[in-house]
Structure 1
Amino acid sequence: MKKLTCALLAAALTLLAGCSSGGTSSSEASSGAPAESAPSSSQDSEPESSASQEAPAEKIDVNIASLKGPTSMGLVQVMEQSEAGGTANNYHFTMAGTADEIVAQIAKGELDIAAVPCNLASVLYNNTEGKISIAAINTLGVLYVVDTDGSVQSIGDLRGKTVYSTGKNTTPEAALNFVLSQNGIDPASDLTIEYKSEATEVAALMSEGGATVAMLPEPFVTTAMQKNDKLRVALDLTEEWDKVGDGSSLVTGVVIVRNEFLQEHGEAFERFLDEYKASTEWVNSSVEEAAALVEKYGIAPAAVAGKAIPKCSITFIDGADMKTKVSGYLQVLFEQNPKLVGGKLPDDAFYYQR
């Protein structure tokens, strides 16, 4: 993660597979051995159309981008399978350091699919006049309140404290303010929130003893905990949001698709979503192996990734559930600062549902 504006806008990406057969029965194709020939006569020879299989869909080239961080972690199995030629399409991955890089490529039509911060998807939808759609949530909240003295056991315990964070005028500030307000705490008067420009600065303060309470995203939480054995996770902001969010959720990253690509290659996109979902499930269930791939693709060291993955809220949520969580989240951002969602809330056409 770079500067917090980008770190707050951080997010990840995608997957697919195919097979073929030609003129042989399914048992022949699986065994690899030729079938025995029965005595034939010109009267009995009929084509075995029922045994033949459908030809596989043609592979197409797909350009995919994600941000370096938690939103890319769920993609690593697809990346590896794509390298080996085992995906349903030919995927070309780009890992961007900042959201601006992805925005420019989407605007030029150079990307087909991207994993981006949720609010950035809304901004892009408004700025391109509806030329992209959101298809799935790939990362829920990655924000945590941490302390070094064990004094924070609930949101109420933040009253009167100084909390260090990043993301002034961005989504982390909006998320923290929402959770505080919903719990009857005034962010402006009931506590002091000190905003720093980068998450690394906050992590350093916690590690060096210059702060006792902070809000940090993963993987900075894990990195800071490795340097200070007194630091602990006090509150999961996603869980706190779920308690008061009325069906919405704290959403970090989403998968978007360029609508022109979707119209031309709808089936290929569907196969990609299937592969991506399988990848996120594998990353969560095979943490050690996934951490090795996270390091291989330059996202984070394996030692950090192995501890961070369980706290990175990597997921795959689509359909009606995705729409409910995302629309509620964007509504909260809009009420606090319309600029965070591009000036207005997206309409129903924003949400792609299979």
Structure 2
Amino acid sequence: MIVLIMVLTITSFAACSNNKQAAEDQEKATGIQEEAAEKPEEAEQISVKVAAPTGAPTLSMIRMFKEQPSFGDHVNIQYESVQSPDLMASRLLSGEVDIAVVPTNLAASLYHRGADFQLVASSVWGVLYMVGNEEIDQWEDLKGKDIHTLGRGLTPDIILRYVLSGNGIDPDQDVNLHYMGGATELAPAFTAGQIDLAVIPEPALTNILMNREDAVVLYNLQEEWSRLNEGYSSYPQASLIISRDLIDNQRAFVDAFLEEYESSIDWLFENRELAGEYSEELEVGMRKGAVVQGLERMNIEYQHASEAKPSIEAYIRVLLEAAPDTVGGKELDDNFYMEK
């Protein structure tokens, strides 16, 4: 009997011990789960390369270039101003650049070549102006004159020819078009008096107006485009594209970046002096005076792809008819644009 009582006692004690241990184990497990729930999951580390051509595209994000706003400790961003369009294209195709402001026709061409990007917004709405050394009263007055320009077969040439034709001037018969290597060659030649009539982009135009007293802006080609294309304020010369990988897998960052980019553009017009200082300091091809005095003529305005799409399509149609190779030879589909 005594043995039986001892066995029962030991068995009861073991059961209690086991129950106590089980309770402690459960409490410990619950504590670990609660601790894990309280501890936030670490964000994935991402590295992003942002690039823009010199001129108005870089200016559109000059505050971001200089101040480098934070998108979180897990995001590392590098900014670069690129001079050569060919260099920009090769970097985009190779995946070296994740976000870029590029000529809209280049974005279309790269898309048709398989580049895995989407157009997210348009931000530069034309920077081309016809400048002369005396006033003219009408387009007819251009007949027989020499017009110096740049970009044979490219956007500046296509826009000029389109506007001339729309105003009754045959660009191959009524005027003599002369092509120079670029704005860095064209602007000094006009300033020196070697040329009396030219199509000049900003910011080079402002440098001319600052250095040649008799220079007169004859035509704003953006306004002429709008007049010939009723319902469109201008043509989207440059747009922001972002890699599909970022859009699909880092959408929170993409949305934050777009908000910052739009804010950076708004900031420009309230801080043009500081923007000019940033431009000089970063050596992105614009002097402070050109930024301060020429900002309005650079036509920098943020429009999300959903807003800009009709203007982009109208622009691409004109380029497709004039020079199919500049836009990849065919029209764009809806996958080209990022949905809002």
- In structure 1, how many angstroms separate the alpha carbons of the residues matched to 2:192 and 2:156? 23
- In structure 1, how many angstroms separate the alpha carbons of the residues matched to 2:102 and 2:302? 14
Q: 1:232: which partner in 2?
A: 216
Deviation at 1:55, TM superposition (A): 10
What secondary structure does 1:205 align onto?
A: helix
Q: 1:220: which partner in 2?
A: 204
Q: 1:164: which partner in 2?
A: 148
Equivalent residue in structure 1 for 2:117, among 121, 126, 132: 132
- In structure 1, how many angstroms separate the alpha carbons of the residues matched to 2:43 and 2:239? 26
After superposition, the C-alpha distances for 1:174-228 in whole angstroms (9 at most, x for unaligned) are: 1011111222221111222222222233223322222221100011111122221
Structure 1 counterpart of 2:273, which letter? E
Establish whether residue 308 from structure 1 lines up as the match of residue 294 from structure 2.
Answer: yes
- In structure 1, how many angstroms separate the alpha carbons of the residues matched to 2:126 and 2:108? 17
Structure 2 counterpart of 1:81, which letter? E
Alpha carbons 1:175, 1:250 under 8 Å: kept: no
Alpha carbons 2:122, 2:305 under 8 Å: kept: no
Alpha carbons 1:78, 1:87 under 8 Å: kept: no
Alpha carbons 1:154, 1:235 under 8 Å: kept: no
Structure 2 counterpart of 1:206, which letter? F
Q: 2:242: which partner in 1?
A: 257
**Greater C-alpha radius of gyration:** 2
Establish whether residue 185 from structure 1 lines up as the match of residue 169 from structure 2.
Answer: yes
Q: Once structures 1 and 2 are overlaid, which stretch shifts more, 317-326 or 162-171? A: 317-326
Q: 2:307: which partner in 1?
A: 321
- In structure 1, how many angstroms separate the alpha carbons of the residues matched to 2:126 and 2:217? 14
- In structure 1, how many angstroms separate the alpha carbons of the residues matched to 2:141 and 2:262? 38
Alpha carbons 2:71, 2:253 under 8 Å: kept: no
After superposition, the C-alpha distances for 1:126-175 in whole angstroms (9 at most, x for unaligned) are: 111x6211111111110000011122x44443233221111111111110
After superposition, the C-alpha distances for 1:308-334 in whole angstroms (9 at most, x for unaligned) are: 222111111114331011111111000
Equivalent residue in structure 1 for 2:272, among 287, 293, 316: 287
Deviation at 1:280, TM superposition (A): 0.5
Q: Once structures 1 and 2 are overlaid, which stretch shifts more, 282-291 or 134-143? A: 282-291
Q: Once structures 1 and 2 are overlaid, which stretch shifts more, 95-104 or 85-94? A: 85-94
- In structure 1, how many angstroms separate the alpha carbons of the residues matched to 2:140 and 2:59? 33
- In structure 1, how many angstroms separate the alpha carbons of the residues matched to 2:93 and 2:99? 12
Alpha carbons 2:131, 2:197 under 8 Å: kept: yes
CA 1:301 to 1:55, structure 2 compared with 1: closer, same or farther past 3 Å? Answer: farther
Q: 2:251: which partner in 1?
A: 266
Alpha carbons 2:56, 2:202 under 8 Å: kept: yes
Deviation at 1:81, TM superposition (A): 3.0
Alpha carbons 1:284, 1:314 under 8 Å: kept: no
- Ranges in structure 2 where 5+ consecutive residues have no aligned partner: 1-39
Equivalent residue in structure 2 for 1:245, among 212, 217, 229: 229
Deviation at 1:56, TM superposition (A): 11
CA 1:281 to 1:157, structure 2 compared with 1: closer, same or farther past 3 Å? Answer: farther
Alpha carbons 2:119, 2:305 under 8 Å: kept: no
Deviation at 1:80, TM superposition (A): 2.9
Establish whether residue 63 from structure 1 lines up as the match of residue 49 from structure 2.
Answer: yes
- In structure 2, how many angstroms separate the alpha carbons of the residues matched to 1:247 and 1:56? 49
- In structure 2, how many angstroms separate the alpha carbons of the residues matched to 1:259 and 1:294? 30
Q: Give percent identity, aligned residues only.
A: 29
Q: 1:195: which partner in 2?
A: 179
After superposition, the C-alpha distances for 1:262-295 in whole angstroms (9 at most, x for unaligned) are: 1111121111011000000111222111111111
- In structure 2, how many angstroms separate the alpha carbons of the residues matched to 1:213 and 1:65? 33
Deviation at 1:91, TM superposition (A): 2.0
- In structure 2, how many angstroms separate the alpha carbons of the residues matched to 1:205 and 1:235? 19
Deviation at 1:343, TM superposition (A): 1.7
CA 1:246 to 1:58, structure 2 compared with 1: closer, same or farther past 3 Å? Answer: farther
Alpha carbons 2:104, 2:236 under 8 Å: kept: yes
Alpha carbons 2:66, 2:282 under 8 Å: kept: no
CA 1:196 to 1:60, structure 2 compared with 1: closer, same or farther past 3 Å? Answer: same
Q: 2:99: which partner in 1?
A: 113
Q: Once structures 1 and 2 are overlaid, which stretch shifts more, 140-149 or 210-219? A: 210-219
Normalization by structure 2: what TM-score?
0.82
Q: Once structures 1 and 2 are overlaid, which stretch shifts more, 57-66 or 183-192? A: 57-66
Alpha carbons 1:318, 1:353 under 8 Å: kept: no
Deviation at 1:59, TM superposition (A): 7.2
Q: Once structures 1 and 2 are overlaid, which stretch shifts more, 302-311 or 287-296? A: 302-311
